[in-house]
Structure 1
Amino acid sequence: MPLPSFAALGIDDVAVAVYRHVVAGAGVADAAGTAAGPTPEAVARAVHLDEATALAALERLRSLGLVQRSAGGEGYGAVDPRVAVPAVVAARADALVAVRAAVPALGALFGGGRRPHEADELARVVVGQAAVGDWYSRLERRATPDFGACGRPPYVVASNESTQRVARGRGVRWRAVYTVASISADGSRQGVHRLGADGEEARITHDLPAKLAVADRRVALVSIGHAPDRPEALVTESEPLVAALHDLFEARWRSALPVPGTPGAGRAAVDWASVAARLAASSSTMTSPSGVATPTPDQEARLAMRPPTPAERDLLALVAAGATDEGIAGQLGISSRTLRRRLHSLFDELGASNRFHAGVEAARRGWV
């Protein structure tokens, strides 16, 4: 029977193979009728190793108390594994407990070196990608009942799905509001394929005034400067300020549109044309004090623009339907190069940087 990996005990696969051979040979009698343990030379032949490697493995196992050397001889015999292995596991567990106990002291050392005189502050300003990213990761990892974030480019840290997965595993409700720019397909932090992954509840809105994260309604981080090379953020544990920032998140959450889940596991592909149309409709009018919906200045300006040409309308319809570039080119009877040129011109006309953004702008203009 093959043995499992003993890497957690600091034993590599070579030593495991040696250990299995020694255990299997326990109790084998020599010509005089006494138990004889295999020598390093015999182990090397049996396990197909050189003698020096076999000897090093035997001595490693001996240092852990799993084998013992014959008195006055060169042979090695196994200590009863029913006793020896649990003893090694218990010793390693005790060592891990000791390491865990050192975490508070290490944390104090880390904090003292990087953030002097901040221990008693309820609010602090952090500057730079490392500092802002460090605090954002702290909030992600300390969240217990809930985590809420408002995200918009430029991003300081890359998306970490494993953090969300672990948080979801401990029951954290994970919510995020993204901007249209957040889901562009040009390498920005949040791709369309990741929205809704690992149980995240995602919503989308046109724009956000700031980036924000709130963990457990106890600590919050809000951006106060968006320069990519020198981001700034305020970290606060002030109850009134955290409550106000949490209310801001909830308000943005209520006004944003739900993002459908990612394809797979029985889910259909995301109909981004529908999302774009609903997003445009949700922000195309505003309510006057009398309660009557009136066009916004932005809507009035767009309505005054020219209508789409038949060619533009056909191209938008195919893009909104989710057709691939090859499919669109074949449907229109044009080359891929011509299609790219037409898409580029259409995006320029709509002031869009990607297909989804183009769908939003086209819906706001009434082109689709």
Structure 2
Amino acid sequence: MYSLNGIGISTAAEDAYLALVEGGPMAPTELASTLRVTSHAISTAVGELTDLGLVEPDGAQLVARPPRSALDAVAESRTKELAALRDGIEELSRFWRDHHAEGATYIEIARTQAARSALVRRLYDEATEQLRCLTIGYTGRSAEPNMMAPGCWEALTRGVKASVVYGAHVLRDKPAREAVQTSVDLGERARVFPDVPLNMGICDDRFALVCPPTSDWGRRHHILVQRSDLLEALIGVFESFWQFAVPLPAAVETADDFGRASTDETRQLLTYLSGGLTDESIARELGVSERTVARRITRLQQMLGARTRFQLGVQASRRGWL
């Protein structure tokens, strides 16, 4: 069906215009009866359409006019308004640079909670193709079961491809794992790396949001990086982490049977190991002794020819065991 909302026409006015186009000239009372709305609603809608030149009175009736000429004039007016807005942005940007000479023009810093929250929401709302993120992981301050960043669910459900590298913290905290699993179930590609240094999100190839870690919670800030050589460098940083990170599985599955340990336990062991958890932490999660964990890891290393535990995670991933 047609929609005129995108050019600023209300739903009521849109319904009135389409009814007049389809049904021909009508008196306001007849139009109100056709649409099953009040006379006041029709009066408001007709006033809106008349101002735009889409409807004109013809005696006691209302007549729809062809949209091209009327809306071309609207488009021309909007184009001029947009040009004026862009000019205003440039003027304000120059004024800002004059008083902040030390700052790069492609960088903005958000220091207030409202500004930080708006940037995070913008990251997800404006994504049309892909999101690439590094995240240290959910902290105890904010971790809640199945918690997702505002706008993340909407981005994933509208088909945005999300690729996220999580720090090992995400595997040490049950609410955090549940939040990640929710995202994975919606199509997110998730990987884990032992030491992710900061939180960063890249919206398509248009801008990045960098959130440096800080010990002073009250003085934290977010950095918005627009198109620039720095943005290209940040994309390269993400790709490097993505290459070396180990995938988190989308479901409980494994390709081989590793003996007495169940396939589910083996998958969990490899996942925890690739995230940098200690033997003690892994043993606690699996409900076995540290000695049992060390023995299973040694056996897996021998099977895959891995000299280090991180290599074991990489090799297992390449074989499809993660």
The alignment's TM-score, normalised by the length of structure 2, stands at: 0.57
Is contact 1:196-1:261 (8 Å) kept? Answer: yes
**Residue equivalent to 2:305:** none
**Residue equivalent to 2:269:** 277
SS at match of 2:249: coil
**1:14/1:187 CA distance change after superposition, 3 Å:** same
Letter in 2 for 1:256: A
The Cα shift of 1:257 comes to 1.6
The Cα shift of 1:69 comes to 2.0
Is contact 1:147-1:214 (8 Å) kept? Answer: yes
**1:128/1:7 CA distance change after superposition, 3 Å:** closer
The Cα shift of 1:137 comes to 6.5
Asked if 1:149 corresponds to 2:134, the answer is yes
Is contact 1:136-1:221 (8 Å) kept? Answer: no
Flag structure 1 segments of 5+ consecutive residues without an equivalent: 27-36, 264-270, 286-297, 303-349
**Residue equivalent to 2:292:** 366
**Residue equivalent to 1:256:** 245
Measured against aligned partners, the alpha-carbon deviations of 1:320-352 in whole angstroms (never above 9, x if no partner) come to: xxxxxxxxxxxxxxxxxxxxxxxxxxxxxx599
Cα distance in 2, alignment partners of residues 4 and 143 from structure 1: 23
Is contact 1:150-1:208 (8 Å) kept? Answer: yes
The Cα shift of 1:4 comes to 3.5
Measured against aligned partners, the alpha-carbon deviations of 1:21-57 in whole angstroms (never above 9, x if no partner) come to: 544564xxxxxxxxxx543344445544444443443
* Structure 1 vs Structure 2 CA RMSD: 5.2
**1:273/1:213 CA distance change after superposition, 3 Å:** farther
The Cα shift of 1:66 comes to 2.5
Letter in 2 for 1:158: A
Measured against aligned partners, the alpha-carbon deviations of 1:72-102 in whole angstroms (never above 9, x if no partner) come to: x4333333xxxx2223443443344445432
Cα distance in 2, alignment partners of residues 274 and 19 from structure 1: 64
Q: Please identify, of 8-17 and 137-146, the stretch whose mean Cα deviation from structure 2 is larger.
A: 137-146
Letter in 2 for 1:260: P
SS at match of 1:225: coil
**1:362/1:88 CA distance change after superposition, 3 Å:** farther
Q: Mapping of 1:41-120 within 5 angstroms?
A: 41-70=29-58, 73-79=59-65, 84-101=66-83, 102-103=85-86, 105-106=88-89, 109=92, 117=100, 119-120=103-104
Residue 181 of structure 2 is aligned with which of 192, 201, 215? 192
Is contact 1:149-1:212 (8 Å) kept? Answer: yes
Is contact 1:226-1:232 (8 Å) kept? Answer: no
Asked if 1:179 corresponds to 2:177, the answer is no
Between 1 and 2, higher relative CO (CA 8 Å, sep ≥ 6) is seen in 2
Letter in 2 for 1:366: T
Letter in 1 for 2:270: R
The Cα shift of 1:203 comes to 0.8
**Residue equivalent to 1:160:** 151
Is contact 1:185-1:192 (8 Å) kept? Answer: no
Is contact 1:132-1:233 (8 Å) kept? Answer: yes
Measured against aligned partners, the alpha-carbon deviations of 1:179-235 in whole angstroms (never above 9, x if no partner) come to: 34336453689431203745x432113453433456869977351405444424667
If you compute each CA radius of gyration, which structure gives the higher value, 1 or 2?
1
Identity percentage over the alignment?
20
**1:230/1:23 CA distance change after superposition, 3 Å:** same
Cα distance in 1, alignment partners of residues 131 and 14 from structure 2: 44
Number of residue pairs matched?
271
Flag structure 2 segments of 5+ consecutive residues without an equivalent: 143-147, 253-262, 297-322
Is contact 1:178-1:203 (8 Å) kept? Answer: yes
**Residue equivalent to 1:34:** none
Cα distance in 2, alignment partners of residues 18 and 218 from structure 1: 41
Measured against aligned partners, the alpha-carbon deviations of 1:95-149 in whole angstroms (never above 9, x if no partner) come to: 4444543246347648967995154378787645445556666777699998452
**1:123/1:275 CA distance change after superposition, 3 Å:** farther
